[in-house]
Amino acid sequence: MPLFRRDRAGAGSAELEGITPRRPNAGLLRREQKALLREREAKLRDLGGLLVEMYRRGRFREDLLAQGCAEVVGIDTRLLEIDDALHAERRAPRCECGAPILRGSHYCPNCGRQLESAHREPGFDGGE
């Protein structure tokens, strides 16, 4: 019998319900963003070509146009999510040394300076 055994029935997902997912690396997000922008441009070109062909033939199929538009809107939605994730780091509070400050921190993780109470969560250490 193996020392470590995986349950392939999908029971592992129940264990992860209480865990917050990690934010992807900014480099991965930028790479995905570039790929999505290329895909979006290609889909818009395809939609334009499809529309021209429908115009030439005098028959418009709204279902094909709606499907193509829905794909572009889906890509746009994901691009907005990526943009928000990439710029969330910039909005985070920073110490005087420039290091980002985690919520609830009492000291800077970079220089060790004691932080003002504005960066702490209310009620974090009971007295505030």
Q: Is the pTM of this model over 0.85?
A: no
Do 82 and 101 belong to one domain? no
Q: Is residue 4 part of a domain?
A: no
Residue 18 counted as domain residue: no
Do 73 and 106 belong together in one domain?
A: no
8 A C-beta contact, residue 108 and residue 115: yes
Same domain, yes or no: 65 and 80: yes
Count the Cβ atoms, other than its own, within 10 Å of residue 108.
Answer: 20
Assess whether pLDDT exceeds 80 at residue 12: no
Coil, helix or strand at residue 9: coil
Owning domain of residue 106: 93-128
pLDDT of 20 above 90: no
Query: Do 77 and 99 have their domain in common?
Result: no
What pLDDT does residue 124 have? 44
- Alpha-carbon distances, residue 118 vs 95, 106, 107 (angstroms): 11, 10, 12
User: For 97-116, what is each residue's pLDDT tens digit?
Assistant: 877 777 777 878 778 888 87
Residue-wise pLDDT for 43-88, tens only, equals 999 999 999 999 999 999 999 999 999 999 999 999 988 888 887 7
Q: How many domains does the chain have?
A: 2
Alpha-carbon span 12 to 5, nearest angstrom: 12
Chain centre distance of CA 77: 10
Q: Is 13 domain-assigned?
A: no
